[in-house]
Amino acid sequence: MLDRHPIAAASLRDIVAAVSSGRSTPEREIAAAKERVAAADGEIGAFLRLAPEASLAAASAASGPLAGVTIGVKDIYDTRDMATEHGSPVYRGYRPVADAALVSMARLAGAAILGKTTTTEFASLDPTPTRNPRNLSHTPGGSSSGSAAAVAAGMVPLAFGSQTGGSVIRPASFCGVAGYKPSFRLLPTVGMKTFSYTLDTAGLFAATAGDLAVAAKAITGRDLAAPVPADAAGLTVGLYRSSVDFEVRPEMLAAVEEAARLMEGAGARIVELEEPAALAEARASHGIVQGFEAVMALSDEYRNHHDEIGPMVAAILDDAARLEPAAYDAARRAARVGRKAASALFESVDVILAPSALGAAPVTLASTGDAMMNKLWTLTGNPVVNVPGFAGEEGLPLGVSVIARFGRDARALAIAALLQNLVTPQ
């Protein structure tokens, strides 16, 4: 059905099992990851810098559920042992004194922070030089460009990203990996550069949805790794029909239909869900909320470093600086109504299937693609998991989103793992 570029790295679950059983050690896994980065990153450019040897030596001696698991961290997360530059010349060489909360939580779980991955400036739109490992002439997506590419190329089994519009789910789709945008604020954003404080969401990349669940459970201590069902019997799955589906490429629409057929074949009941007007309006309000908050969050950079920041983020801030508070307040009201409408969808379905992007990764490194298919679910705060394994006519990856009710992250991850197993049987 699909031509998949093989993931070179062992899966996160394989690494955890090997270390916990004594068949491997954290030191060996960290050394192997460094070798993979040295071999692959020259042409991909996912990493900006690797952690100092002292940090990696400490991680080699660590214990915990993620001992031996190496992580690439998007360079908007503070790291006490490496520079954090937010993809911007304004912060060149900036060295925080403490880790971001999520980074610290990962270290406490025994993981090794291998290095910092590329990000568009302030996690916005100005692209990085990172290339898509599936086809080097195509964008890896953004803003979490390096994190998605590092996992897709097999350099690390886990990477941290963030999503304000579509910056986890879209690059995961473009690069053919699993991506997880949790329910809003399930993962802390303390110590992560703010762009929009009511939208910014920390997220994860891994080879599979099952790996994501194991990582999320280990980092948070929450029971997010629910058993993956053997089939879809008893599930009701909504096929989401949005007001912007006319923008979606036929091959992506076909991938969503294929996902629905697979779930139906495994016993699920499929129902069509027409987008309520409140959710279409909520999607339209996303840009106002994001822009208005970005002007405040980046007020100093915008006022005092305008000539240093990239043209795309500067244009967003220039436009948003003209927004009136009344427009922001109206957009926030639309967002609140949209969240209630999103909750109502799950009165009749367990999960929703929707496109993870408009199509496959565009043939360009000058753009990271369009977040149109993601921004609604970022605004509503619902958990979303990109399921890889689908592909278009040219063999480039296509991802399908599994979306669940707010707070039902374990369900989203488990059903995403089921769908991934149906697409690419193990």
Catalytic positions, please? 74, 143, 167
- Measured in degrees and rounded to the nearest 5, phi and psi for residue 301 equal -60, -40
Q: Which residues make Cβ contacts (< 8 Å) with residue 24, sequence separation at least 6? A: 15, 18, 68
Q: Which residues contact 278 (CB under 8 A, 6 or more apart)?
A: 334, 337, 338, 340, 341
Within 13 A of 78's CA, how many CA atoms are on the CB side? 18
Beta pairing partners, 351: 237, 404
CA distance 364 to 49: 24
Reference 295, options 319, 276, 272; nearest CA is 319
Residue 127 backbone class (left: φ over 0; alpha: ψ -120 to 50; beta: rest) = beta
Q: Where are the alpha helices (DSSP H) in 87-161?
A: 101-108, 145-152
CB 49, CB 150: distance < 8 Å: no
CB atoms < 10 A from the CB of 128, how many?
25
Give the pair of three-digit tokens for residue 294: 């970005």
Angle at which helices 209-220 and 101-108 cross, to 10°: 90
